């Protein structure tokens, strides 16, 4: 029996516009080869920086384009090594590892279906030194799939202003919305004073290009650029120029529409299968993104033939599971959930297999 992966938070192969990107890469080299194949500005490929800056209404000098947004997160963690950082519980595990490796004192604040619990946040803020920043993934969160409600967004920005707090809004999934109205980003509500915004073309074009970015206050941008220079001199300009060519040709929105439909079918398959197969469990109902958060009646154990990541990897409770619907086909999703359900009924508990056992989620 081949294992079905509900662990991999990566796009299904058909989400990646391979032929068009091959053409864009060639065109980027032909048009601007001596720039994109040389060392260049550490902040990124200038036309792309300008495109991002315009989209977010800031000066290009406030945009730092990195080799994936995770690289920018690593720079931010370097900058605030040893400080206190507040995160959501659960949260994306890689930042947790990056922060831990830099001696950061991490405080985890619980969430509910409407996102970060702001009363719990206020208590956590009162209970310790002022954190260097609050790390949040407000839209289609990894791992929970939850989205912070509009009222809470406003309140969070208010809290940040009152307490002069820096908030890092990590938003790689915001544009991958299948339905419902888009709430304003924290960055939009705040106007870019207290909120650092990060996003990526990993979920909207292709992760292998490794193009992510940060919109930063000017002073912090200069500090992170200094860290970036001493790490790689220049980020991978070819990937950035390929992304820019893709945008310049007007491919971004049509591709997003295509990707949304592919993922919507997968999300629907997962929710339908959960309703049929696991009536004793509860789960999040995301309007976009890659993930569903499953809460089982008992602790998680072993499930033959299906891989997933246990919620504990993200700081979640032992009865929680992250299910990714992004990677496999709708039929495989249905079969994967069926196998999970069979394991739950057979033993009353299930365990992570495959990628989960290696201790890394995407
Ligand atoms: C919340 C979150 N932030 C950042 C990343 C990393 O994105 P990138 O590919 O831009 O490094 C991911 C990838 O899955 C993610 O889920």
| Residue of minimum CA distance from atom 6 in ligand 1 | 70
Say how far apart CA 118 and CA 288 lie, in whole Å: 23
CB 316 within 8 A of CB 294: no
* pLDDT value of position 355: 40
Residue 2 DSSP code:
P
Q: How far is CA 59 from the centre of its chain?
A: 24
Give the residue, out of 200, 207, 286, with the most ligand 1 atoms within 8 A of its beta carbon, to mutate for a pocket test: 200
Q: Rounded CA gap, 335 and 173, in Å?
A: 26
Sign of CA dihedral 18, 22, 28, 29: positive
Handedness of CA 32, 34, 35, 36 (dihedral sign): positive
Q: Are 286 and 336 a contacting pair, CB within 8 Å?
A: no
* Architecture of the 18-248 domain: 3-Layer(aba) Sandwich (3.40)
> What is the dotted CATH code of the domain comprising 4-15+253-358?
3.90.1150.10
User: Mean pLDDT, to the nearest integer, of 92-113?
Assistant: 97
Closest of 298, 274, 299 to residue 285, by C-alpha: 274
Taking only the tens place, the pLDDT of each residue in 54-67 is 999 999 999 999 99
Mutate to test the pocket of ligand 1, among 9, 70, 322 (most ligand atoms within 8 A of CB): 70
Q: Estimate to the nearest angstrom the gap between the alpha carbon of 194 and the chain centroid.
A: 20
Query: Where in the chain do CATH 3.40.640.10 domains reside?
Result: 18-248
Mean pLDDT of 128-142: 98
Closest Cα to atom 13 of ligand 1: 362
Decide if pLDDT at 356 tops 50.
Answer: no
Q: What spacing in Å lies between the alpha carbon of 98 and ligand 1's midpoint?
A: 13
Tell me where in the chain the CATH 3.90.1150.10 domain(s) lie. Answer: 4-15+253-358
CA nearest ligand 1 atom 16, residue: 142
16 closest CA partner among 263, 301, 215, 312: 263
Cα of 69 from ligand 1 centre, angstroms: 6
**204 CA to centre of ligand 1 in angstroms:** 12
pTM: 0.95
> If 0-12 CB within 10 Å is exposed, 13-18 middle and 19+ buried, where does residue 58 land?
buried
Mean pLDDT value of segment 349-360: 43
Average pLDDT, the chain: 95
Burial class (CB in 10 A: 0-12, 13-18, 19+), 238: middle
* Ligand 1 atom nearest to CA at 69: 10
- Neighbour tally for 80: CB within 10 Å: 17
pLDDT at 358 over 90: no
277 Cα–ligand 1 center, Å: 30
Residue 359 has pLDDT above 90, yes or no: no
For residue 193, what pLDDT band results from cuts at 50, 70 and 90?
A: confident
Distance CA 195, CA 175 (A): 19
């Amino acid at each position: 029996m081949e294992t079905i992966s509900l662990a991999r938070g990566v796009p299904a192969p058909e989400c990646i516009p391979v032929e068009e990107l091959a053409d864009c890469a060639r065109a980027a080299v032909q048009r601007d080869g001596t720039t994109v194949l040389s060392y260049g500005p550490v902040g990124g490929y200038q036309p792309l920086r300008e495109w991002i800056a315009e989209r977010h209404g800031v000066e290009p000098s406030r945009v730092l384009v990195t080799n994936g947004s995770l690289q920018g997160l690593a720079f931010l963690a370097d900058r605030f090594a040893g400080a206190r950082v507040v995160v959501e519980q659960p949260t994306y595990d890689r930042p947790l590892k990056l922060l831990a490796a830099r001696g950061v004192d991490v405080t985890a604040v619980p969430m509910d279906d409407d996102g970060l619990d702001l009363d719990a946040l206020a208590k956590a803020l009162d209970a310790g030194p002022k954190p260097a920043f609050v790390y949040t993934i407000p839209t289609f969160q990894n791992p929970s799939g939850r989205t912070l409600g509009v009222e809470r967004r406003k309140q969070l920005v208010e809290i940040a202003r009152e307490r002069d707090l820096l908030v890092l809004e990590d938003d790689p999934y915001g544009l991958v919305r299948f339905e419902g109205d888009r709430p304003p980003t924290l960055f939009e509500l705040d106007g870019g004073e207290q909120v650092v915004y990060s996003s990526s073309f990993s979920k909207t074009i292709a992760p292998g290009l490794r193009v992510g970015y940060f919109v930063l206050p000017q002073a912090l941008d200069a500090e992170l650029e200094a860290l970036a220079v001493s790490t790689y001199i220049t980020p991978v300009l070819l990937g950035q120029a390929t992304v820019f060519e893709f945008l310049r040709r007007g491919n971004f929105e049509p591709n997003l529409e295509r990707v949304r439909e592919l993922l919507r079918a997968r999300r629907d398959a997962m929710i339908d299968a959960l309703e049929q197969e696991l009536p004793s469990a509860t789960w999040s109902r995301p309007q976009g993104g890659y993930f569903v958060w499953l809460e089982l009646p008992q602790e998680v154990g072993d499930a033959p033939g299906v891989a997933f990541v246990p919620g504990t990897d993200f700081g979640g409770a032992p009865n929680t599971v992250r299910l990714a619907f992004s990677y496999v086909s709708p039929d495989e999703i249905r079969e994967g959930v069926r196998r999970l359900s069979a394991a739950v009924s057979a033993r009353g508990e299930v365990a992570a297999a495959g990628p989960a056992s290696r201790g890394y989620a995407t």
